[in-house]
Structure 1
Amino acid sequence: MANRALVITGRVTSGVVALGAAFVLIAGASVLPLPTLDTSAEGVEITPVSVGQERVCPGPLLRLGDANGQGATTVNAFGAANMVSSSGAATLTPSPLQDVDVVSSQSGQTSALLSSTTATVASDLLSGAQAQTAFESDAFGLAAISCNEGGATSWIVAGATDTGRTSLLLLANPSPVPATVDIYLYGVEGPVEAGGLSQLIIAPHTQRVLPLSGYAPGDAQLAMRIDSTGGLISATLEQSIVRGLEPGGVDLVGPSATPSRTQIIPGVRVATSAARDQRAQVGGSQDVETTLRVMVPGADNATVTVGVTGDTADALGTSLEVTARSGTVTDILLPGLTDGTYTVTAKSNVPIVTAVRASVVSPPDDSSSESDDEEEEDEEETTVSQGGELVSGSGADVTIVDGERIDLAWFASASELEEDTTFAVAGGPAPRLSLVNSGDADTSVTLTAADGTAQEIAVPAGGAVSVDVGVTFYTLSNVASVRGAVSFQGDGALASYPVRQANPLATPLTVYH
């Protein structure tokens, strides 16, 4: 508005000219330049002062109640997460955060803050990641996530609170000042009206845990926006599934890319597709299917065109078009995907946020020992009647296949990288880096491991490439128009997290005046 006021004042002043002086302007026109109105704004590039980098690792997996099912309203940590971190030339100082709502921790481990002494983008590319495998009666599978920077706004597209589904929202404040947080929950019917989600105070260097069943009970399709003022918030969602008495997977998921008309999800790994399709026909197991979740933040409905392409010729994709209602969360089944690695692209007429849910269904450990006894075959399946609504929205019995091992994973949409970045690969089975080039020209990305070993990865325009990586940290260079994700897949294990821009808060800003 200041610029416009200056322009208006200039017009009025130049228009007030005495008649007697008019000949002076005319006569001088041949020797003096006429005044011009320059409406272009001058931009000044400003680099934020180096104040150190911070990443939050959410820590060990959590459950409501203890291992014996007692104290269902209490939060308890079990097991320990394997954390991997790198700091380039910076001094790395991991320190525990205070888990305010956690009553007990089996291993003594807590959420952790990774920090470095400087924020120089060129030399200090701080990154971290964690992974944990659960073998509990109420939690099974691999949960892996990058250690993320705090932000003022985050979108998480994941979670469910219908029968057997538990979703815990973790809010960590790595800042030295309190954070005031507002949470906006969205479900299948639209915004969730619930008290206790606004003006939450998160103390400095603490992590809080909110069970979402207390705010949006019985909802199979959740997404959320987390806003904070004061301190910045690192938000994580933990989701676990129990079907009857059978654990059906656990995962940790961080923020998706901010609302946009184009969302890209790299490195969606599909495995055990035949067993998955068979299991999806069993009561209470419809959510093992590979599914795109879409949330429409604005006031207008979204027409979403979904494209799924395989990284290799034998991974056949699919395409479809759907309408998603404004303010609601829509799950879109991605049918017919065989084993392989895929890129999922969602294009919309209005901004959307997205993520993909996938599962692996592995046979029992001793799958070769089949009994010829009719009674033993019958005992391999147990049916437990469940109340409430299933993912499909219709009541049905939950059928348990004895010994089958199921894990779920959320694949968050990735933001386009702008500068060199680093990422850590946590300890998990068959880690893989997937890169997508959304630009119009072919590019060659340089991947450099911690030991200095470098390789060039050619990524065609509009295409994707996946390469195997190790449990260490890497630097990515020449990443313009590129998005990335790290994924893991093994026997009864599936997990993923996007590659995020290293130290985005320290990148130069252009200020116009």
Structure 2
Amino acid sequence: MTRQNALRIATTGARLVAGAVVSAACVVAAVVAVPAAWPTVERAPAHTTVKPVAGDTLLTCAGPFRALGRDASRATELSTAGTPSVVSGAAPGSRLAQKSIAIAGVPDARQAPMFTAAPNGQDPAEVAAAESLSIAAEDLAGFAASACRPPSMESWIVGGAGTTGSNDILLIANPGAVTATVTFTEYGSQGGGMHTTEVVVPAGTQSSIPLAAGAAGEATPVVRVTSSGAAVRAALQSSLIRTLDPVGIDVQDAIARPSKAQSLLGVRAVVQSDDDDNPSTAVRLLAPSTDAIVMLQPRNAADGTPAGAAKKVQLTAGQVGSVDFSALKAGLYSIDVTSTAPVVAAAWETTGLGKGSDFAWMTPAPDITGSTAFAVADGPAPLLHLQNASTSAATVEFTPVRGGATQRITLAAGGAATVPVAARAVYALSSPTAVRAAVSYYAEGKLAGYPVWPTDAVAAPIAVYQ
């Protein structure tokens, strides 16, 4: 090996060693630098708020009150026990058209009222309808009132009973143009949610299903109603007999969905009861899927102040519970329900426990923001119950759609008020912040009520993300 070659090899080796050292240093520097904060570039997902075009509004009424087995030779046959009077109307800018829906399985009742309204431009129509009736017969007696409501794909019935003396019927209306397959899932005091039944409801018809068909012997049933193919409107028609005497009727609307916070407005305590099996005022509850701790706070309807201490109950998922409020003094209340998990709830109220009394179920009043229309069915001494659902003061306005003075009610944060309203009238109500509302009726032997629902939310703004 020549001296020149040796020098070239030595030089090349030195370069390799130096390169290895530099590479190792770079690796060490990179490893040390990893925990340090690197510059980042963040970009919020692109999104826009879109307001869908509103569709036609459909309002379906319960229709004729049905009696079961009046003819002893035909114990399962349904017949008409009374036909309600209906009031309907629209706020300025909306128009309401009356139609009808066929009633299946009731020979002497052919149709129930139904209303349609085209949207007001991009907004859903502000329309409303309600119905009421009184019955005085040997097997049925009492007063009932209910709002006509749009259909939905899911709803909950919290009320009624499958015990002796109860004659309760689920009313399922399909106002759409295609057949609906409806599934009922029954829950009870011993748990449930596994027992299901299914019925097919043809387009443009209303079906009547006895509640006892799926809840026989159950004193506190809750029924989940789900539909495929078409949305349906579910309601419960109830009647009760004690020791051969009729003690009331009711038509109860469904609840949209379980919630962690809700308010039962227009709960009227008339008499006190110390009979555990027959309370005069009570709240039925169900946590469908998760155990829940529930707080129930009664409040004075006049101003929203607490009416005694709150009651606490622990619910087992899928098992119906009941909280007794029979000790409430005579008066008007709301009951706030807050829970650690979503629940459904409804309040039972009665004017007495014997002949000549009446009962009603009050379901939660949803939040209303902006404007909506509500109907006041014919009935004794109707009252509008208002509750501020926001954390700031709110001024609520409501005006008869057929002309009349506007009333303005200012509610403190969390406050409430009751205001007399006219029977057989339709009002336009507006509030810049969230409020809740309900209509109630009361006279000797007559008790009823229903919540005010916001204008069809089909056109509510939605956020679309890319």
Same fold per TM (> 0.5)?
yes
Q: Which residue of 2 aligns with 1:473?
A: 426
Deviations 1:394-445 (A, max 9, x none): xxxxxxx5xx311110000111113311100000101011111122111111
Q: Do structure 1's residue 36 and structure 2's residue 41 form an aligned pair?
A: yes
- Aligned partners of 1:192 and 1:216 also within 8 Å: no
- 1:214 aligns to 2:213 (yes or no): yes
Whether the 8 Å contact between 1:256 and 1:414 is mirrored in structure 2 is no
Aligned to 2:159: 158
2:324 maps to 1:333? yes
**Aligned counterpart for 1:304 among listed residues 294, 302, 305:** 294
Aligned in 2, Cα 1:222/1:207: closer, same or farther, shift over 3 Å? same
Q: Is residue 363 of structure 2 the alignment partner of residue 358 of structure 1?
A: no
Tell me, what secondary structure is at the counterpart of 2:80?
A: strand
Note if contact 1:257-1:412 (Cα within 8 Å) is conserved in structure 2.
no
Q: How far apart, CA to CA, are the structure 1 residues paired with 2:95 and 2:302?
A: 41
1:342 aligns with 2:333: yes
1:259-317 per-residue CA deviation (whole Å, 9 max, x = no partner) reads: 1111211121222x2xx53xx64xxx94351001101111x321111100112489944
Shift of 1:225: 1.3
Contact 2:387/2:411, CA 8 A, preserved across alignment: yes
| 1:478-497 aligned within 5 A | 478=431, 480-497=433-450
Inter-CA distance 192–351: structure 2 relative to 1 (3 Å threshold):
closer
* Residue number in structure 2 paired with 1:426: 377
- TM-score, normalised on structure 2? 0.86
What pairs up with 1:14-93 in 2 under 5 angstroms? 36-38=41-43, 40-66=44-70, 68-88=71-91, 89-93=93-97
3-state secondary structure, aligned to 1:111: strand
Alignment of 1:364-403 (within 5 A): none
Q: 8 Å contact 1:65–1:72 — kept in the other structure?
A: yes
For the 8 Å contact 1:310–1:317, the answer to whether it is kept is no
Query: Which structure 1 residue ranges, 5 or more long, are not aligned?
Result: 1-33, 363-400
C-alpha contact 1:59 1:111 (8 A) present in aligned 2: yes
2:459 partner amino acid:
A
Partners of 2:54 and 2:124 within 8 A in 1: no
Distance, in Å, in 1 between the alignment partners of 2:247 and 2:432 is: 37
Note the 1:238-257 alignment, pairs <5 A. 238-257=237-256
Distance 1:155 1:143, change over 3 A: same
Cα distance change, pair 91–481 in 1 and its aligned pair in 2 (3 A) = closer
- Return closer, same or farther for 1:321/1:123 CA change in 2, 3 Å cut-off: closer
Question: What is the distance in 2 between the residues matched to 1:289 and 1:79?
Answer: 26
Deviates most, 491-500 or 133-142 = 133-142
Question: How much does 1:193 deviate?
Answer: 4.7
**Paired residue for 1:230?**
229
Find the partner of 1:462 among 405, 414, 437.
414
Structure 2 match to 1:6: none
Q: Distance in 2 between matches of 1:248 and 1:419?
A: 40
Distance 1:512 1:213, change over 3 A: same
State the Cα distance separating 1:37 from its structure 2 match. Answer: 3.6
Q: Moved runs in structure 1, 4+ residues, more than 6 A?
A: none
The structure that has the greater radius of gyration is 2
C-alpha distance in 1, partners of 2:306/2:381?
18
Q: 1:47: Cα distance to partner?
A: 2.8
Task: Work out the number of aligned pairs and report it.
Answer: 424
Q: Aligned AA for 1:409?
A: A
Q: Structure 1 330/130 Cα, relative in aligned 2: closer, same or farther at 3 Å?
A: same
Cα deviation 1:131-157 (Å, max 9, x = unaligned)? 011112221111111000001111121
**Deviation digits for residues 244-272 of structure 1 (CA, Å, limit 9, x no counterpart):** 2100111011122521111211121222x
**How large is the Cα RMSD of the aligned pairs?**
2.1
Go from structure 1 to structure 2 and tell me whether the alpha carbon gap of 1:217 and 1:467 turns closer, same or farther (over 3 Å shift): same
- The 5 Å alignment of 1:196-207 reads 197-198=197-198, 200-207=199-206
Unmatched runs of 5 consecutive residues or more in structure 2: 1-38
Please give the alpha-carbon distance, in whole angstroms, between the structure 2 residues aligned to 1:291 and 1:479: 33
Q: Does 1:323 align with 2:327?
A: no
Seq. identity, %:
30
1:55-77 CA deviation, whole Å, 9 max, x = no partner?
000101111123x5441111112
* Counterpart in the other structure of 2:18: none
Return the letter of the residue paired with 1:352. V
The residue type paired with residue 386 of structure 2 is L
**Separation in 2, partners of 1:463, 1:257:** 25
The whole-number CA distance in structure 2 between the counterparts of 1:74 and 1:415 is 36
Tell me how far apart the structure 2 counterparts of residues 183 and 235 of structure 1 sit (CA, whole Å): 11
Following superposition of structure 1 onto structure 2, how do residues 91-106 of structure 1 map, counting pairs within 5 Å?
91-105=95-109
Q: Describe how 1:282-301 pairs up with structure 2 within 5 A.
A: 286-298=277-289, 300-301=290-291
Report the 3-state secondary structure (helix = DSSP H, G, I; strand = E; otherwise coil) of the residue aligned with 1:215.
helix
